[in-house]
Structure 1
């Protein structure tokens, strides 16, 4: 099945009254401000692991949303995550990325599949993922590659996924706290309804983007 990005028929940036920056405007913006560049996290951060669920059907939509399994973030976000990874490596741990920068058209798709904005972003405002300033991730054991136990799986639309929900399992509770503390140390804040979702504190300085991964790969 072709991914959402293979289609040119979905021009969602105006459907909800929100203008999203296209590739041409983005390219102009990074010439004047290099911090706005979207960085390929797999190339930038040693030992990082990708599990880009939206490049598969293993996600809440049941559809392949991305054609490429890539993870990007704005330069300051990538630099902060690199510090997180370095800290974790000293403990034999690392980061596994489920999602990074997300084109605006994907946010529209998510909203139209599941309209509860507790768990999906409103297309009227856009997502911090659309700004290249949010990351969905978990922790792994670098030696085995196995994910550390957490309160829920990724994209769990339940209160158990909230970072403030009490966790009975001491291992999952410890791992969730470890992840949150590691990210907060370097300028990230956990989302109120998703333990895996972290927003970079400087996200307001960056525009909503609607640029396909294929354009970034050119």
Structure 2
């Protein structure tokens, strides 16, 4: 059951609730932003570098919404951000790691759904649709490390999409090895123009995110 929902909701009730919200979110439209923006050029990460691994949780039920909100398990970023991510991935290879991507570009309607699903005390972990998310601009990526030799995800102090203090980038708990892995990921991402979101160790924004508009294009149309 999703972490942000308290009992007594049953799983079928949650699915029904999410379906209603998803239909409502898809019918809504983002606000028009003033100003000039770069022409978007969303590119698929695995087409640039097939060694980047994907675990697109939002295309499954393994996420805090408890159901799939993407129709396809794919990851996109604006080309400069995608090319920077490829450089990070290549830099990690000699250390025995590759990147494990959970999410990249996210349609605005999904951001609205997440906001509507999340209770007030947990909204620090989701983006306000009135402002839009950097995911909506194709300039944010959620990711972790994959241990190539062990063929498994590297353990971090907190789980992906966990709405708790363990998600904070500066969280002092967990094991020394978990914190070292989290900080290694952060160092390499920051060296290539990404900045971590303080509330989420896995979320990184690319330096030029303000230059791109909010988008609401579903994956199947990309």
Match of 1:189 in 2: 195
Deviations 1:187-213 (A, max 9, x none): 000001000000001100000000000
Unaligned runs of 5+ in 1: 21-28
Q: Is the alpha carbon distance of 1:177 and 1:205 closer, same or farther for their aligned partners in structure 2, counting shifts above 3 Å?
A: same
Unaligned runs of 5+ in 2: 1-14
> Does structure 1 residue 105 correspond to structure 2 residue 109?
yes
Q: Number of residues paired by the alignment?
A: 199
Displacement after TM superposition at 1:19 (Å)? 3.1
1:165-176 to 2 correspondences below 5 Å: 165-176=171-182
Displacement after TM superposition at 1:7 (Å)? 6.0
Match of residue 19, structure 1, among 32, 39, 44? 32
Match of 1:26 in 2: none
When normalised by structure 2's length, the TM-score is: 0.84
Contact preservation (8 Å) 1:100, 1:129: yes
Deviations 1:154-174 (A, max 9, x none): 101001110112134111011
Displacement after TM superposition at 1:45 (Å)? 1.4
Quick one: distance in 2 between partners of 1:149 and 1:89? 18
SS in 2 for 1:13: coil
Q: Is the alpha carbon distance of 1:97 and 1:168 closer, same or farther for their aligned partners in structure 2, counting shifts above 3 Å?
A: closer
Structure 1 segments, 4+ long, off by >3 Å, are 6-9
Quick one: distance in 2 between partners of 1:129 and 1:47? 22
Q: RMSD value over aligned CA atoms?
A: 2.1
Which stretch of structure 1 is more off in the superposition, 40-49 or 57-66? 40-49
Quick one: distance in 2 between partners of 1:150 and 1:181? 15
When normalised by structure 1's length, the TM-score is: 0.85
Match of residue 48, structure 2, among 23, 44, 48? 44
Quick one: distance in 2 between partners of 1:169 and 1:83? 28
Match of residue 66, structure 2, among 38, 62, 65? 62
SS in 2 for 1:132: coil
Match of residue 130, structure 1, among 111, 136, 147? 136
